[in-house]
Amino acid sequence: MNVDECIKEYGDIIEWIPFHRLVDIQIIGKGRFGSVFSATWLGGKRNNTKQCTSFIVALKTLPGSQRNFLREFRNYMKLRSMCRELEVYGLTRTLMTSI
């Protein structure tokens, strides 16, 4: 599975988020399984008819290969289906090595 297939599989739940739409990125924590950042998502999540206003989201890095990343992402999506309080809005990618 690749990123495009992930977006197709979960397209009714998530979307591709261009990284340049995330601003004011600040690290919240770092652990064995990646880092967590806060950011403002310009334009916000989509809904039935229009985009919401900008709002603050958490960004979770999933280090490692794309295959490992996608496996971890699918685990998050399975968890989300059991726990509606965990919101997963989409995927993004940065070329910055500091994030």
In tens, the pLDDT along 41-98 reads 998 876 666 657 788 888 887 776 667 778 877 887 777 777 767 677 777 777 665 5
Judge whether 14 and 80 are in contact, CB under 8 Å.
no
Q: Does the model's pTM come out above 0.75?
A: no
Per the domain annotation, does 72 fall within a domain?
yes
For the chain, the C-alpha Rg in angstroms (whole number) is 13
d(CA 15, CA 24): 20
Per the domain annotation, does 64 fall within a domain?
yes
78: containing domain: 3-91
Show the beta-strand stretches assigned E in the chain: 15-16, 22-31, 34-41, 55-60, 90-91
Per the domain annotation, does 60 fall within a domain?
yes
Whichever domain contains 14, its CATH number is 3.30.200
Q: Report the domain count for the chain.
A: 1
Q: Please tell me whether 60 is known to bind a ligand.
A: yes
